[in-house]
Amino acid sequence: MSEPIQTDRQSLIRLVNQECGYRQVEVGRGDTASWNDDHELEVQHNAMGTQDVCAEGTVVERGQIPAVGPGWGPPVKSTQERLADLKTLYDRGALGWTDYQNAKRKLGQDEANRLVSAPHIPTNERLAGLKALYDQSALGWSDYTDAKSRLGKAECDRIAHDFRTPVRDRLAALKNLYDNGALGWSDYTTAKGQVGQAEADFLIHRSHKPVQQRLDSLKALYDSGALGWSDYNTSKTQLGTAAADRLVHNVRGPVSDRLAGLKSLYDAGALGWSDYNSSKTQLGKATADFLIHANDLSVDERLNGLKYLYDNGALGWSDYNDAKQQVGRQVANGPRW
């Protein structure tokens, strides 16, 4: 921004009418203008903290006066200061009642739009800013509730996809939006459900975390209302099925630990009785097949392993005897070269 143009007010009005279009931009007392690097005229409304950028008889941009740096242009005033300035203009007869109200509403709407689209500002601070605008009549009730709703929905979408923030904090942020009227009950419960379902999917496939820890996390989601009963049970079942499948096929893992893992999944409700017994049977058959061909183990180790599977219900009597006979035949015939 260059230095303000040094001229009298009437000459400034003529220049603004020429560059911005006739009477498209009002020039108030204390307003200034300057040329920018693109040869556009910037008209600074210093009492309002806003500016219009014009070129070739058209207003090309309206917005806040940018804070360029020390010594460049007038300081940017806060919204409260600008509202106070408008009140002063009205009190001293420089603005009529209608113009005063219109100016307040214009300022309020611009500030509301800025707050709605400023995620870097803490949510409570933005909500308080909107409330202050309403309390000072810079926003009507309809505009105030609309701005709160827009802020809530934008923040809600950000929270739903903010996977780096702990779930508890994200749910608390949604509750804060609901408590402050920025989200209705339906939007609030929908947003909670989205967060809960996304986190549940993450837990189901996060195999490096202990199963019990993941089940506890699913329970916490249900307790907080982020998962309904049906979604909670579906997620538990999906987690249980995935964990059971890993236990079944981890044939080199200790059998006792794998069977205990399946039992804990059943006890926690992550496997039904039928799935639990089916998984035990699959584990037994997969491990029996491994023992039958495990020539690096002694005969006693292989037979004891099969007996353990039978004693713990992972092999039925027929499958147990068939596996023993296969071990026997393999040992009797000798290893294949």
The long-range contacts involving 259-265, CB below 8 angstroms and separated by at least 24 positions, are 259/283, 259/312, 259/314, 261/211, 264/211, 264/212, 265/211, 265/240
Q: Which of 98, 133, 142 is nearest to 114 (CA)?
A: 133
What integer pLDDT is reported at residue 72 of this predicted model? 43
What integer pLDDT is reported at residue 337 of this predicted model? 44
115/138 Cα distance (integer angstroms): 14
Domain contains 178? no
pTM more than 0.85: no
End position of a domain, from candidates 45, 74, 103: 74
* Helix orientation angle between 255-267 and 229-249, rounded to the nearest 10 degrees: 170
Domain contains 54? yes
What integer pLDDT is reported at residue 80 of this predicted model? 83
Domain contains 218? no
Burial label, 28 (beta-carbon count in 10 A; 0-12, 13-18, 19+):
middle
Per-residue DSSP letter, 201: H
> Do 136 and 161 contact (CB within 8 A), yes or no?
no
Domain contains 89? no
Sheet holding 41-45, edge to edge: 32-35, 41-45, 50-55, 58-64
The long-range contacts involving 99-108, CB below 8 angstroms and separated by at least 24 positions, are 101/137, 103/48, 104/136, 104/137, 104/138, 105/138, 105/139, 105/140, 105/143, 107/48, 107/79, 107/82, 107/83, 107/138, 108/133, 108/136, 108/138, 108/139, 108/143
What integer pLDDT is reported at residue 255 of this predicted model? 85
Domain contains 235? no
End position of a domain, from candidates 30, 59, 74: 74
Q: Around 90, how many Cα atoms within 13 Å sit in the side-chain half-sphere?
A: 15
Burial label, 61 (beta-carbon count in 10 A; 0-12, 13-18, 19+):
exposed
End position of a domain, from candidates 58, 74, 90: 74
308/292 Cα distance (integer angstroms): 14
Domain contains 189? no
The domain tally of the chain equals 2
Q: Which amino acid is at 106?
A: K
What integer pLDDT is reported at residue 207 of this predicted model? 57
Boundaries of domain holding 316: 250-337
Domain contains 265? yes
What integer pLDDT is reported at residue 2 of this predicted model? 64
Question: What residues pair up with 34 in beta bridges, in sequence order?
Answer: 42
Q: Which of 317, 319, 314 is nearest to 292 (CA)?
A: 319
What integer pLDDT is reported at residue 36 of this predicted model? 86
Q: Which of 110, 3, 128 is nearest to 63 (CA)?
A: 110
What integer pLDDT is reported at residue 142 of this predicted model? 92
Domain contains 274? yes
Task: Give the length of the chain.
Answer: 337
pLDDT tens digits, the chain, 337 residues: what are they? 567 888 888 888 888 988 888 777 888 877 889 888 888 899 888 766 788 899 888 888 877 766 544 444 444 577 888 888 888 888 988 889 998 889 989 988 888 888 887 776 788 888 999 999 999 889 999 999 999 999 988 888 888 777 778 888 888 988 999 999 988 899 888 888 888 888 888 888 875 778 888 888 888 888 988 888 998 889 889 888 888 888 888 877 888 898 898 888 889 888 889 998 999 899 989 888 988 888 888 899 889 989 998 998 888 899 989 999 998 888 887 655 4
What integer pLDDT is reported at residue 146 of this predicted model? 92
What integer pLDDT is reported at residue 69 of this predicted model? 44
290/282 Cα distance (integer angstroms): 12
